[in-house]
Structure 1
Amino acid sequence: MIPTYQELMTPVLERAREGEVKFRDAVDDISNELKLTDEELSELLPSGKQTVIANRIGWAKTYLSKAGLLNTKKRGFFTITDRGIEALNSGQNIDNKYLKQFDTFNSFHGQSSEIKVVDNTLTQDDEQMTPDEVLRRAYEKINDSLSTDLLTRVRAVSPIFFETLLVDLLVEMGYGGNEEGAAHALGRTGDNGVDGVINQDPLGVDQIYIQAKRYAGGNNVGASDIRDFFGALNLKKANKGLFITTSDFTQSAVQTARDLGSRIVLINGQQLSKLMLRFNVGCRDVETLHLKRVDEDFFDN
């Protein structure tokens, strides 16, 4: 398991005690000392632009620098200070609690500890996470809450509105060519759902047959519904099917779809709401936050 950024503070200091350290070399050396697996070494942040171990070592270095235990004035390098040597010689556990004895750290930590989540289950004070991990967790919790709200609203709309919603979503996902063509391809059955066909490409060369059920939670789609849909696909000599429900699929329904091959794709309520979030259907962006970090290559001269 990759250590937390606080658990990496001592290794960072020990590496710096050997002399001036290049950040990239510190990441490699500490990773080797910890005997991290290839999987751990390659684990990336959600952004895909930095490894987790490099991110946590970077935050350990930042916190130690703010407390005056490291000096990072030279581009891309850091060195240990007298205060850092004293910390190592003290034999104490070096973590945020230890660093709070220094005013410079308290000033920095106070400015960066304002992130809160409404239910108080996640705060910047969760000492196991770096600040950007806290931000990402908060983002996930906000989206999970929004996803639940979206699904509740979708279950309450009229069949006509549900049809329009699915058309909008499929068009945003790149199907149907345009809204007019997609709307024409889908038709209501009047039974709390939508059955139809949509073009997979603008010219309608390839088509996907769709069955959608606007069901309440707990009213799950069963295996017989999947078999019926499979039979309908065979009658139409279709090779692709999409079954959407606002509830879920029973285990037997999922297994039936697997046994029938990859012709039928199942999308349950949770997946539907996640797609709506991803493609901004029924929701919209209200604020964009750009998470940045120092470009070590820029300062690597």
Structure 2
Amino acid sequence: MTDNPAPAVVEPIPKWHEFMVPVLRVLSDGKPRTRRDSLTATLDEAGMTEEQRAVMLSSGQPKAENRIGWAMSDLTRAIAVAKPERGSFVITDLGKDLLQKNPYAITQEILRNIPAYRDYEPQRQNVSKADPVDIAVEDSELDPTEQIERGIQLLRADLATDLLKRLQERHPDFFEEAVVKLLLTMGYGGAENRGRRIGGSGDGGVDGVIDQDALGLDQIYIQAKRYAPDITVGREAFQSFVGALAGRGATRGVFITTSRFSAGAIEYAKSIPTRIILINGKQLTELMIRHGVGVQIAKTYTVAEIDEDFFE
């Protein structure tokens, strides 16, 4: 009788954030890579053994690749990595600078210093933004239900980042149509969906209009500005929209942008009698996800519990 050999010991797989430096090193040559090439090269860069690569999640996905995927998502959210086209990744100037300053380790605390990352980082309820909670510590304190909810928040943040990038890449006409559709889906314009895009030459500074009644007596005008994340909508652009509304005798409007508004524009909006709602890029993607515009359900998970009536 021979003894069964002891099972091989698999070295622990690095945490997902520990893959961020290897990802940036792989992309540091500036060449675009597909997701598959990026994953494979990062596994090699991080020195993952065949045993480590063979460890699977219950879903059937390799654990190491899943963690690299999360690292790539966070780097993309921080604009350290860009997607020049669908399914490909390339390092940005910010990413090169990030790697140069942090050649051995990059943490979420470091990413939180990047405004684009902070804009889409899920915040735990009852936690002040001025006192962020370290994710590794936070997750260890969560019960299973909280872990599921936390995971959903992270997936939504990743989706919001990708959704905003898609909007920024499309033609301004597409963006104007998208925001009109969003407002109609939210219930403005009634059951008849009385809304339309009116942007183009000679639009008078207005990109769309929603008729709240069948005769168009009550109207909401829309301004849609498709800007890059680093562009801020200032008071001047907002004043132009106010002037366009005054020229039409309108008293209500919605100003939507893929970027953000300056403090001056926000204060000016509060000081005028015309009722204008400001929606920045983060709020826009939240509304689109909530109302199912530009997104679709990818997976549905069912959580079961005991049926007390059955046992009674």
Q: Report TM bin, short chain.
A: 0.5 to 0.7
TM-score of the pair, normalised by structure 1? 0.53
Work out which of the residue numbers 156, 175, 192 in structure 1 matches 2:188.
Answer: 175
Displacement, 1:151?
0.3
Judge which range, 202-211 or 276-285, deviates more: 202-211
Aligned to 2:163, which of 139, 143, 150?
150
SS of the residue corresponding to residue 204 of structure 1 reads: coil
For residue 119 of structure 1, the aligned residue among 28, 52, 70 is 70
Q: CA deviation at 1:246?
A: 1.0
Alpha-carbon distance in structure 1 between the residues aligned to 2:208 and 2:158: 31
More off after superposition, 116-125 vs 137-146: 116-125
Structure 2 residue 155 is matched with structure 1 residue 204: no
Please point out which of 250, 253, 270 is paired with 1:241: 253
Contact in 1 for aligned 2:180/2:208 (Cα 8 Å): no
For the pair 1:165 / 2:116, whether they are aligned, the reply is: no
**Distance in 1 separating the partners of 2:268 and 2:278:** 11
One-letter amino acid of the structure 2 residue matched with residue 188 of structure 1: G
Give deviations 1:112-167, integer Å, cap 9, x for gaps.
xx998653786899430000100000000000000000000101101221222122
**Whole-Å separation in 2 of the counterparts to 1:241 and 1:151:** 22
Q: Could you tell me how far apart the structure 2 residues matched to 1:284 and 1:149 are?
A: 13
Change (3 A) 1:126 1:274: closer
- Tell whether the 8 Å contact from 2:194 to 2:212 is kept in structure 1 after alignment: no
Could you say which structure has the larger radius of gyration?
A: 1
Corresponding letter in the other structure for 2:70: D
Which of 277, 280, 284 is equivalent to 1:268?
Answer: 280
Q: Is the 8 A contact 1:242 1:265 kept in 2?
A: yes
Shift in Å at residue 224 of structure 1?
1.5
Asked if the contact 1:276/1:282 (under 8 Å) is kept, the reply is yes
Q: 1:289 and 1:176 mapped to 2: Cα distance?
A: 34
Q: Is the 8 A contact 1:168 1:179 kept in 2?
A: no
Query: In 1, distance between residues paired with 2:201 and 2:290?
Result: 28
- In structure 2, relative to structure 1, the CA distance for the partners of 1:180 and 1:173 (3 Å cut) is closer
Letter in 2 for 1:119: W
Q: Which runs of 5+ in 1 are unaligned?
A: 1-110
Selected match of 2:152 from 111, 116, 139: 139
Asked whether the 8 Å contact 1:124–1:131 carries over to 2, the reply is: no
Residue 172 of structure 1 and its aligned partner are, at CA, apart by 0.9
Inter-CA distance 124–252: structure 2 relative to 1 (3 Å threshold): closer
1:202 is displaced (CA, Å) by: 5.1
Where in structure 2 are there 5+ consecutive unaligned residues?
A: 1-57, 72-107, 109-134
After TM superposition, what 4+ stretches of structure 1 lie above 3 angstroms from structure 2? 114-126, 177-181, 201-205, 290-296, 298-301
1:259/1:290 CA distance change after superposition, 3 Å: farther
- Look up the equivalent residue of 1:157 and give its one-letter code: R
Structure number with the bigger relative contact order (C-alpha 8 A, sep ≥ 6) is: 1
For residues 275 and 288 of structure 1, do their structure 2 counterparts lie closer, same or farther at Cα, with a shift above 3 Å needed? same
Give the Cα separation in 2 of the matches to 1:208 and 1:292.
45
1:188 aligns with 2:139: no
Could you state the TM-score of these two structures normalised by the residue count of structure 2? 0.51
Identity percentage of aligned residues:
42
